[in-house]
Amino acid sequence: FSSVDNDLDNQTVTLAPDGSEAFYRACRGSATTFPTDPSGGTVLSLTDDSYVPVTLSGGAQVLLYGVGYSSLYVGSNGYITFTQGDAGRLESPPDHFRMPRISGLFDDLNASAGGTISWKQLEDRVAVTYETVPEWDYSGGIGSNSFQIEMFFDGTIRMTWLGIDARDGLAGLSGGGGKPAGFLESDLSGYELCEQSTIPAVSSWGLAALTLLLLAAGTVILRRNVTNRATTTGATAREA
C-alpha cells in the first residue's frame, strides 16, 4: 500500500475460531458506531509510548489462539499485548509478532496530545476503545483515530474502526514467537459478510476494501504501510 491507502474507516472485522489451520474464520462488515458503548468504562492514564496492565474480574479470561489470559496490557500505540507490556512505536511485522498481540491500529500514536483510551468488561466480552487519539507529530499530535477491540469470552475477536486519519499503520493478530516465514495475501472484499446467526453482529453490514494477510503459524494480520520514527542527536526524524 502507499502511504495514503489506509482504508480502515467505518469497517469492522470479526475473527471467530473455527478449528482450521489458520485458527480463525474472518468476516467483514461496515460500522457507524462502536458495537460496545464505551461510556461507563474505565479511562486509562496513558502517555506517549506507554502501557498499563488490566486485570479481568470474576475469573474471566479472554482467548487468543486458544490461550486464555486473565490479564492484558493496553498500549498507547494502538494494541493489546499479553504476558508483558509493550511501548513500541514502530509498526513493523517483526515488532507486531514479537509477542501475543492484538493490533487495532499499531501506529505511533500520542495519547498525551488528546483523545481517550478506556476499557470495559461486560458479561460476555472485554472492550478496549481508542477515541480520537492523534498520531505523534513534531507539534505533539495530528489527526484523530477512533477504533475498538472486543475480545469475547468464547474466543471471538472483533475490531471496529470509525474515523481513521492515520494513513499508515498495522492491524491484526499475533500468537507471538516471531514473524512467520511466509504469508498469503488475499483481498478482504472477497470475504463473506458476517452472519448474525454465527458471529456477534454489528449494526450494519457492507463491503470492505481491506487486505487480509493469512500468515503461517495460524496468524492473521491486516497489514498497512509502515512509518518509522528514528531518534537522532538533538532531533527526532520520521521516514516513510
Q: What is the pLDDT of residues 172-209, one digit of tens each?
A: 899 998 887 776 545 554 568 887 434 443 322 222 22
Residues 6+ apart with CB under 8 A from 93: 170, 179, 221, 223
Identify the top-confidence range among 41-45, 206-210, 221-225: 41-45
Instruction: Give the residue with greater pLDDT, 50 vs 138.
Output: 50
Q: What is the pLDDT of residues 87-106, one digit of tens each?
A: 999 888 889 999 999 999 99
Instruction: Give the residue with greater pLDDT, 42 vs 201.
Output: 42
Whether the pLDDT of residue 218 is over 50: the answer is no
**Is the pTM value of this prediction over 0.75?**
yes
